[in-house]
Amino acid sequence: MPTIEFENVTKIYDEDTVALDDVSFTIDEGEFVILLGPSGAGKSTMLRVLNGLTEPTEGSVRIDGEELEGNRSGVGMVFQEHYLIESKTAFGNALSGALSRNGLLRSALGMHAEPDKRTALEALQTVGLLDEAGQRAESMSGGQKQRVGIARALVQEPEVVLADEPVASLDPKAARDVMRYLKKAATEQDLTTVTSLHQVNIAREFGDRFLGIRDGEVIFDGDADDLTMDEMDRIYYGEAQGGETVPAESPGGDFAGDADAAGGGGRA
């Protein structure tokens, strides 16, 4: 049984905005899937629907065979903005991932169970920050903060991790580090992971499978070898741009670098 099932999902925000248009796909346990597509394609909406933060207008979403109703505790979320409490330590922030299990009052009173504390330390170890457990978030780099954000999601003990542009505000080295730790966590814990990314070159390094989204539809579904320049053009521009059909990783390819420019609609 696949972990994630999207069946004929449509999301209409208002009369004119069809963010997802009859989307169907399945994702198996342990797959590391990356969503690619220009700005406004529907990637965030897809993640929000998966997390139960947004209700589909039509269609159904199932996780482990269960219809999604409201926010699911088995789904951990990593955001572009890490939303850490700056005055808290890395450990305190990671531990806040246990909030959904412990309830607000116990958490506010700092009454965390020993297993939760152990889980938080293990999560910090997974993201390479055990030595920084006592460091306040405010004194950490952007990449370190995002890794604490991943640790916090892991403390939820999720089956599925969703990440919406988790490295958008980081330099390429920090972005790679964050993706490396996210992939490590997913592999070690056999997590099903769905991440939206604008940096195509980084996406290609880490993704097992790519869904190309355009105008609310999945127009590409394949692995890195299938993701040729023509396919990238189709995803970002709607049609092949007349270049050769070569893998997107080829040196000098338009998509060898950051695809933010592509998302803006113009060809650099």
Ligand X SMILES: Nc1ncnc2c1ncn2[C@@H]1O[C@H](COP(=O)(O)OP(=O)(O)OP(=O)(O)O)[C@@H](O)[C@H]1O
Applying CB under 6 A, the residues found at the interface with ligand X are 13-14, 17, 19, 37, 39-45
The smaller minimum CB distance to ligand X, of residues 147 and 198, is found at 198
The smaller minimum CB distance to ligand X, of residues 230 and 260, is found at 260
Q: Show Cβ contacts of residue 99 under 8 Å, excluding neighbours closer than 6 positions.
A: 107
Residue 107's alpha-carbon distances to 75, 154, 190, 200, in angstroms, are: 20, 17, 28, 39
CA distance 13 to 45: 10
Report the nearest approach of ligand X to the CB of residue 34 (Å): 13
The smaller minimum CB distance to ligand X, of residues 12 and 130, is found at 12
The smaller minimum CB distance to ligand X, of residues 96 and 199, is found at 199
Looking at residue 75, its amino acid is V
Report the nearest approach of ligand X to the CB of residue 25 (Å): 16
- Judge whether 101 and 116 are in contact, CB under 8 Å: yes
Report the nearest approach of ligand X to the CB of residue 256 (Å): 20
Of 36, 33, 19, residue with least CA distance to 258? 36
Of 96, 116, 126, residue with least CA distance to 190? 126
- Judge whether 210 and 224 are in contact, CB under 8 Å: yes
Report the nearest approach of ligand X to the CB of residue 242 (Å): 25
The smaller minimum CB distance to ligand X, of residues 51 and 144, is found at 51
Report the nearest approach of ligand X to the CB of residue 42 (Å): 4
- Judge whether 36 and 197 are in contact, CB under 8 Å: yes
CA distance 171 to 104: 35
Report the nearest approach of ligand X to the CB of residue 26 (Å): 20
Q: Exposure pattern of 185-201 as b/e (b: 16+ CB <10 Å)?
A: bbeebebbbbbbbbbbb
The smaller minimum CB distance to ligand X, of residues 48 and 112, is found at 48
The smaller minimum CB distance to ligand X, of residues 47 and 123, is found at 47
- Judge whether 90 and 149 are in contact, CB under 8 Å: no
Report the nearest approach of ligand X to the CB of residue 18 (Å): 8
The smaller minimum CB distance to ligand X, of residues 23 and 153, is found at 23
Helices (H), 51-171: 90-95, 99-102, 104-108, 114-126, 142-155
